[in-house]
Structure 1
């Protein structure tokens, strides 16, 4: 082999080794400049605006869901509870129960009406609230409103990150310093804003359950009481039935005086007259019951919708307050306006 060819081969081998070394060389990492404090202040203001906007949209969602729930409760009340309650044999059965309650409570009308309310509550739950809950549950609306709020906030965060070209690690660290849920020192009672926006659905967060439990604390106590309007209906019904006892007592005494056969006929006759009277008064009883239930239910519905501590929007308001208190700059009010 000629020396010139050997020299060329050596030169080519040297070039290939240089390229191979370059291919295996790891490029030096490029340092990412930290985000300036001024930019973070702008980001925080954008997050506050996003939170307020998401809260308003969640309110619209919750209102619509509660309107649907109320409509279904009204329909079920008209179709199932009121016809059952105003029926002749139901009223007869209720009168027996009120009489029994009065005997056991030694004539205490207050205790009689309360025990009747408990019974009517069971019937209202079975005939109205439970069937409606299979379609839409007021208790679940609170969780759905929170999920909707977080989804909207998550969408806005993507836009904010792109707008300011925020490095993902720095943004995650910044959001990790904001406590979105702070119920106690334990880890399962806390969640950062970064965790809240990262976990889908938010029900997977360990702190989600304790938050719902706290928000529903007072509502759970109220559920042990008669449903809205049931106690009022029970009071009116108890008073009316107890007022009828005197008339029934006279009919019973007359029947006992004339003997067993004649007494049975008189009792049947009295029952027939009462059935006609009850049928004649049924429309009025239904209208009164509908008014009593409707007025009380509307008040309870409004409280459940607007109560900032335990209503269906309580979870959204809690998250909004948490974010507001930590991202809002000193000297600004809740609307983001500098105080004088």
Structure 2
């Protein structure tokens, strides 16, 4: 059976997994940005770094699927744009306009060249050029408005490279290209890690986190899409190897094997033990991810719940969830194509008809 007709692609848990990954990032950032020691248990149990890597694995699986199912590059590009940019634009502009209320600058000082630079740099996914707004969050531990947006730049760059990779797949076969890019990515990240350790410069750490260093996770996800029948036939071997590698990696780093092992576990839970069409309620994971950081920053700057860390965390969760639901209904959903599985799933759910929609496209 071709992977394109595999029934596991019709009913999967990827929507739920992405929400769990976004929630993990929210929880860890709540502790890291606040510094509340009572919340320290979060970072001892959860890892935002692993959650982000898992996001990349899911993207690798689903975005290659999206391209393969698109009739043209233009249709693929439209789906990518409609899914990611409207909400992204909305968050950037809401922050740019509304956060004057949390600025130590007056109106003239706030709407300055730095403000213009922030808007244009962030709208172009170049967040690192201007991560702050004038006088905003200057008393916080970190003044960045939305430090979670750095991954969106990587996502967009990956979207742009997918057509090239598919062209290479069709010319030279999938497996050699997947392996080559995977190992080049690991080598790039490893080299910069060594340089960072020897120089003590955090710049190299940041460079290692950018696209070449993250491609190993994307390509591992892509492997499981293209070789899903193999994964199903040898799933026991894959899982035993993956769990063993990840267990050893906790004590002795295995950078060459860790991305593939993580991808094995993520794709396994994404495709097996289906628990229902979570997308029928909407996809709130993106909203949670791009909204949680400024919500945390606002609460910290305002000083609310300073003496009650757990109430602070609850407020972050409730405010971010509310914002994500609103973002989905008022922005994200309105830009999706009518054939999007989210639109059809929501329509079916609202009319109480058994859902038969297909959950196949990450950007829908």
Which bin holds the TM-score, normalised by the shorter protein?
under 0.3
RCO higher in structure (CA 8 A, sep ≥6): 2
Q: Which has the larger radius of gyration?
A: 1
Q: TM-score, normalised by structure 1?
A: 0.27
Q: TM-score, normalised by structure 2?
A: 0.26
